[in-house]
Amino acid sequence: MLLTMNLGNSSLACGVFDGDTLVARVRLVSSVDRSADEYEALLGSVLGSKGVRPAELHGAAVASVVPDLNEVIGAAVEQLLGVPPFMISPAVNTGLSFNTDNPMELGNDLLANAAAAVELYKTGCIVVDFGTALSFTVVDSARCVRGVAIAPGLRGAAHSLVSDTAQLPHVELQPPPRAIGTNTIHAIQSGIVYGYAGMVEAMIKRMQRELSERAKVIVTGGMSPRIVDEIGGVDERAPDLALHGVRLIAERNF
């Protein structure tokens, strides 16, 4: 079995694959303050809670957008499994080509999303990822990454709003009863949830116009369940897309 990891600024998503089947998934809070020993202990514990023993894992692959944690996570995995993890990057065999100014700038999580989307759905895709940031990754049916758009994430937008205004409270990010809010909480929820839904729809329409083919719209990311029902034009929901991408890229290189 293969351990796959998507290391982001807020969380560390892990998936265990038996062949192409995802048999276990766990999520940890990512922190640069944890040591390799702490990550090793946490990973061993949470994987054990899913019935997965380190001895059953033949290797690991990581897509990281937190360079400061790469060495720590690498050491933790090597201590746990006895082998270092394979690190995903645009420099390895991804099965993709790039129509961008500098392919090395592409985030490794977005790289994994693109590799998984075009392989699993066999067509051009726009991947909308609701993570710490909101990202749009466009890959065409010829497996060429055409480009990316990035905006502040839902949680970051909400935090910025309330931290910069003395009288606005922190609220749970969920759709309010109506767009016209009649109290402060619903007003903030409307502005962020419905406002972001409208932005995503507008971005999808613009990107579709710029492509020479109809792209499938895939939504993923930890924050996506809070908003995806409010977005028109979504074709697929794929919460584990990046983990599948890490697996697929790793398989090309092992």
List residues with catalytic annotation. Answer: 109
Distance CA 182, CA 184 (A): 7
Torsion over CA: 16, 22, 23, 25 (sign): positive
Burial category of 35 from C-beta neighbours within 10 Å (exposed 0-12, middle 13-18, buried 19 and up): exposed
Tokens of 247: 């697996």
Torsion over CA: 96, 217, 132, 43 (sign): negative
* β strands within the chain, DSSP E: 2-7, 11-18, 21-29, 59-64, 86-87, 97-98, 125-130, 133-139, 144-152, 216-220, 236-237
**N-to-C CA span, the chain:** 13
Amino acid identity at 147 = G
